[in-house]
Amino acid sequence: MSQAFGVPAFPVDTHIHRLAARWGLSDGKNVDKTERDLKAVFPENTWNKLHLQIIYFGRQYCPARGHDKEKCPICSRYGV
């Protein structure tokens, strides 16, 4: 809905869930809680774009496997 029709949404998949936890944006044990936490942190007009930005950022700098804190601009700067 968000990508096809521009409906404000913050879809949480495993990548968003992992990064939100890693960066201290959510302590959610499931994607529903993580979605609520992220929606509370970020303005609604940013949700659709931010969802994709987090995924792309994670792929480039903060992957699930082989994560190097020193190569990630967020993890290295904020010590997460």
Domain count, the chain: 1
Helix H segments across the chain? 2-5, 14-22, 31-41, 47-61, 73-78
Predicted structure pTM score: 0.88
The mean pLDDT of 35-53, rounded to a whole number, is: 95
Q: Which CATH number do you get for residue 27?
A: 1.10.1670.10
Give residue 15's domain range. 2-78
Task: Tell me the pLDDT band of 18, cut-offs 50, 70 and 90.
Answer: very high
In what helix (H) or strand (E) does residue 24 lie, and over which residues does it extend? none
Task: Tell me the pLDDT band of 24, cut-offs 50, 70 and 90.
Answer: very high
Q: Which residue from 42, 52, 65, 63 is spatially nearest to 12, judged by alpha carbons?
A: 52
How confident is the prediction for the chain on average, in pLDDT?
92
Characterise 26 by phi-psi region: left (phi > 0), alpha (psi -120 to 50), beta (else). beta
Rg, C-alpha atoms of the chain: 13
